[in-house]
Amino acid sequence: MIALAGTIGAGKTSLTQLLADHLNSQAFYESVEGNKILPLFYKDPKKYGFLLQIYFLNKRLDEIKASYGNDLNVLDRSIFEDALLFKLNADMGRATETESDIYSSLLSNMMEELPDQVHQKAPNLLITIQVSFDTMLKRIKKRGRSYEQLANDPSLYSYYKNLNERYVNWYEQYDESPKMLIDGDKYDFVEDEQAAQQVLKMIDAKLAELNLK
């Protein structure tokens, strides 16, 4: 199992598809387009923040279970990122500390309930895509989801900036599995086919190093 990580607009979905096609494996995508709670969260984070995190937790556990059947399936977000996202919401007053603590406890308990002999909890490789704040904002604007746009809600600027900064520390501290970092500014695999091929070669080399390919 390979998991992608990175901030909003980093290119996780694009790299998930590229990698799954390259490895002839299955891609599992974060539930966004059909997520009815996400637009509500952007309108009223305090009211819907906890509900959104529980929704994502349930979906990610389903993905872990479903992805275990075949080698090198690719998940476009890691379950280990969720605590970072919800802690940020709590720190910004968009969720309460009590809700954050309850979520962290629930996540821990649910992960313990996954039997080790049946379901792999951590990925064989975590691939984090790191992009600059400017690139993040350009990608968010380009994909055009109305509820994500700064033009509709200028307060999102501080949220996005804080989120991008926290991902740097999160990657440094992550120790659940082998990991690698992709510079999404240097290698614009979303727009540049040559960059995409370079990234795939880098990932192939890492998989070979880990005896996964």
Q: Which residues are catalytically annotated?
A: 76
Measured distance CA(52)–CA(41) in Å, rounded: 7
The single-letter code of the amino acid at 136 is M
Q: How many other CB atoms are there within 10 angstroms of residue 36's CB atom?
A: 7
- DSSP string for residues in the chain: -EEEE-STTSSHHHHHHHHHHHHT--EE--S-TT-SHHHHHHH-HHHHHHHHHHHHHHHHHHHHHHHTTSTT-EESS-GGGHHHHHHHHHHTTSS-HHHHHHHHHHHHHHHHHS-TTT---S-SEEEEEE--HHHHHHHHHHH--GGG-TTT-TTHHHHHHHHHHHHHHHHHH--SS-EEEEETTTS-TTT-HHHHHHHHHHHHHHHHHTT--
